[in-house]
Amino acid sequence: MFIDRVQIEVEAGRGGDGCLSFRRERFIPRGGPDGGNGGQGGSVVIQASEGVDHLAVAAHRKHWRARAGSGGQGNNRHGRGAADTVIEVPPGTIVRDAEDNFILKDLKQAGDSVIAAKGGKGGKGNTHFKSATNRAPRHFTRGGDAEVRRLILELKVIADVGLVGKPNAGKSTLLARLSRAKPAIADYPFTTKRPHLGRVDVDRDRSFVVADIPGLIEGAHQGVGLGLEFLRHVERTRVFIHLVEPTPSDQTIPLDNYLAIRSELAQYQESLTKRPEIIAVTKIELPGAEEIRADLAEQLDRDVLGISAVTGVGLDGLLHAVMAQLSQTPTES
């Protein structure tokens, strides 16, 4: 099951207490202080890692707790610090404070990390307080308290190219044809219920990652049809391939469908409408599809490609157009 949003609670480990102790040995009745310091408590760290593609691991464990540091002991033995607890998430995960709704960190790349809850400091043993004027201190400190925080982890898929369009426009079929991804494909709307990623190898030296975004409907920017859950995944794509079905089963007009998706993108985030876009009419092998493509190109006054993920018609031209756009579009910093 693909999970892209989850709320968890993280709790760091307490610091170990310092020790109150004096050296007591035969023939040394009044030895000096020898209480050791406590160990540092473990922190909870969230780290973006390659090979992790959703938040299922975090979702199945709502409470993440690090170990406490060990207490100090006599004979100046310091407590052992606790290891950090690391939560691995996919690159593209936003770590947000659940109570105040501010972003702790945007983990865009593999290796990015953030300390979500810092471990408590170890307490000081009485040896630490020894001085020229206080030769036998009886003072020590407790370990620092653990930090506790509720977090929201939110995944925004990172891809070079995003496939957008109405449900049943042929996005999953195209992804399966171009890459080795295996999304669910069927002849009914909303077959795709989660984003799918695939790597498209253009040649030996060039490739790009494409994301199949579940179909959008009118009102998506307000959450209709899980629209908000889907729309956030298009934010980090550099180029859109906007697929238009020539003969929709609901008898709608291709131009209206195209404009409806553009409107949803604009109302969700205006900057998305300024992103490079390649328009392609799918299922070009169907009777009348070429005429519909030509009409759409004339109405929009721009190039519209005709492609077929079934027969392969137009796919070389589509790949060429994608690579041309990517070469002109910088990656997100």
Cα(14)–Cα(42) distance, integer angstroms: 8
Is the pLDDT at 77 greater than 70? The verdict is yes
Angle between helices 315-328 and 171-178 (to 10 degrees): 90
254: pLDDT confidence band, cut at 50, 70 and 90? very high
Cα(179)–Cα(45) distance, integer angstroms: 34
- Tokens representing 198 are 């695939």
- Tokens representing 315 are 């796919």
In this structure, the chain runs to a length of 333
187: pLDDT confidence band, cut at 50, 70 and 90? very low
What CATH number matches the domain at 159-328, 3.20.20.10, 3.30.300.30, 3.40.50.300, 2.130.10.10? 3.40.50.300
- pLDDT at 332 (0 to 100): 56
> Phi, psi at residue 237, to the nearest 5°?
-90, 140
230: pLDDT confidence band, cut at 50, 70 and 90? low
CATH number 3.90.1150.10 given to 1-155: no
Query: What is the location of CATH 2.70.210.12 in the chain?
Result: 1-155
Count of C-beta atoms within a 10 Å radius of residue 299: 13
Count of C-beta atoms within a 10 Å radius of residue 22: 16
Q: For all residues of the chain together, what is the average pLDDT? A: 85
Is the pLDDT at 219 greater than 90? The verdict is no
User: Is residue 303 within 8 Å of residue 277, measured between CB atoms?
Assistant: no
pLDDT per position as a tens digit, 78-126: 999 999 999 999 888 999 999 988 999 989 888 999 999 999 999 999 9
Closest C-alpha among 26, 30, 135, 18 to residue 77: 18
Scan for tokens 């593609």, then name that residue: 53
Query: What is the location of CATH 3.40.50.300 in the chain?
Result: 159-328
